Amino acid sequence: MSESFPRGVAELSAGLAAGDFSSVELTRHYLARIANHDAAVNAYITVCGERALAQAAAADARRAAGTAGALTGIPYAHKDIFCTRGVRTSCASRMLDNFVAPYDAHVTECLDRAGLVMLGKTNMDEFAMGSSNESSYYGRTCNPWDPGRVPGGSSGGSAAAVAAGLAPLATGTDTGGSIRQPAALCGISGLKPTYGRVSRFGMIAFASSLDQGGPMARSAADLALMLNVMAGFDARDSTSVERPDEDFTAPLANGVDGLRIGIPREYFGAELDPRVGDTVHAALAELERRGARLSEISLASAPLAIPAYYVIAPAECSSNLSRFDGVRYGYRCADPTDLTDLYERSRSEGFGAEVKRRILVGTYALSSGYYDAYYRKAQQVRRLIKEDFARAFDTVDLIAGPTTPAPAFAAGTHVDDPVTMYLSDVYTTAVNLAGLPALSVPAGFLDGLPVGLQLIGNYFDEGRLLATGHALQQVSDAHRAVPPAFA
């Protein structure tokens, strides 16, 4: 298979269906690209070559038998936060470096059932805590557009893999922007579904009321195909929402004529690079030319999202990560003198600096005497944020703005300045606090680096989000751009 193979999933699916190439050939092609290029990106923690080729052969047999689905035989990259039976699932942490999952996450089961081919497990910020993919135990992932810059986080490995052509599809998780932010910085599309749309069973928890799995791909159309497979009720997840099955590709042809898009004035303040604002406005103007109606709105509580998020998320992480104690599984320190020494050294040696920072913040916020002042207050602010969005959706259909305040920043810039790092999620965290769906699509480029447009929808309105992203991608080639080093 030549280097000029189709990059879009729909084209790959059509090629498989027509017999232009087999899934085994396609999988070998991607495995060869990983072998040739991943050293420059570090997108993968584990590559599953033999497993992938066996899955590809099974997919080819399904196509020959006439039982294949749209994505049968399509390779994908799996974020290393989803448990995968028989495969190391590390969460990019020393704590789980030796953990081989004994069962599959619900998302893994869905993808296997549909016949997709898992190329490997992708790099990420440790336990999904970070905005730059620099906190991984396995080293940072590089942005394919400029290896000296970050790809975003925590799903930076998945975003970089798709951008560099090391996989046509990838899974991600989004706790405060961790699908949308890396999608924007790497020039691909990423969808954070409504909370409860995709099961969290087998997805290693960071902050349980915020975490949500979702798809990452080049285009909104490809995201729709993948969401068809990932979404669905799962009784093993108490927060999973039972809804009728939907075909998310069906609304793609709806267009945006008459669509009411609100633009929050708070998203275009001093923290935004004005050139990013201009790029986003140019993309929105394309939607306006296709019939969308733009209007300015206000989300008054928007400035409160970051402080509320960085109380709630660390509080939940301090609880979720208490299970990693050196006793049951995962990293254990050498030669502990007693139980206390086992706990202290296993956790201090097994966790990285960012994870320990968030555990400490969260434990403090939940402690006696501070719970009401911090955690309870943050939850009250969370309610205000949800109410702001609810009022906005009384007058508009979607909300639009930048995904990030600036393009990808240089690696190492914010490692010692966590507060500045946290501010890179200034436009994304409110969506998770409210549980809403949101989409990031490429809006254009600035100094050769991608800029993302974020579209926020009402609950379970993923179809309209994807249709709007698709409409933009009918008149824009930004999502088709390929980093020169990986063309």
Active site residues: 79, 154, 178
Among 204, 93, 42, 149, which Cα is nearest to 404's? 149
Q: How is residue 409 written in tokens? A: 């920043």
Q: Which amino acid is at 334?
A: A
DSSP labels, 138-163: T-PPPBTTBTTB---SSTHHHHHHHH
DSSP 8-state symbol, 82: B
Cβ(216)–Cβ(122) below 8 Å: no
* Residues 6 or more apart in contact with residue 330 via CB below 8 angstroms: 95, 96, 98, 99, 324, 350
Q: How is residue 23 written in tokens? A: 């899934």
Cβ(96)–Cβ(90) below 8 Å: yes
* Residues 6 or more apart in contact with residue 87 via CB below 8 angstroms: 46, 48, 51, 100, 101, 121
Cβ(231)–Cβ(463) below 8 Å: no
Neighbours of 339 (CB within 10 A): 11
- The whole-angstrom separation of Cα 162 and Cα 397 is 30
Q: Which amino acid is at 190?
A: G
- The whole-angstrom separation of Cα 255 and Cα 467 is 6
- The whole-angstrom separation of Cα 421 and Cα 419 is 5
Cβ(404)–Cβ(452) below 8 Å: yes
Residue 106 Cα to chain centre, angstroms: 17
Q: What is the dihedral of CA 465, 470, 475, 477, to 10 degrees?
A: 110
Nearest 5 degrees, angle CA 171-CA 175-CA 181? 70
DSSP 8-state symbol, 147: T
For the chain, how far is it from start to end, CA to CA, in angstroms? 15
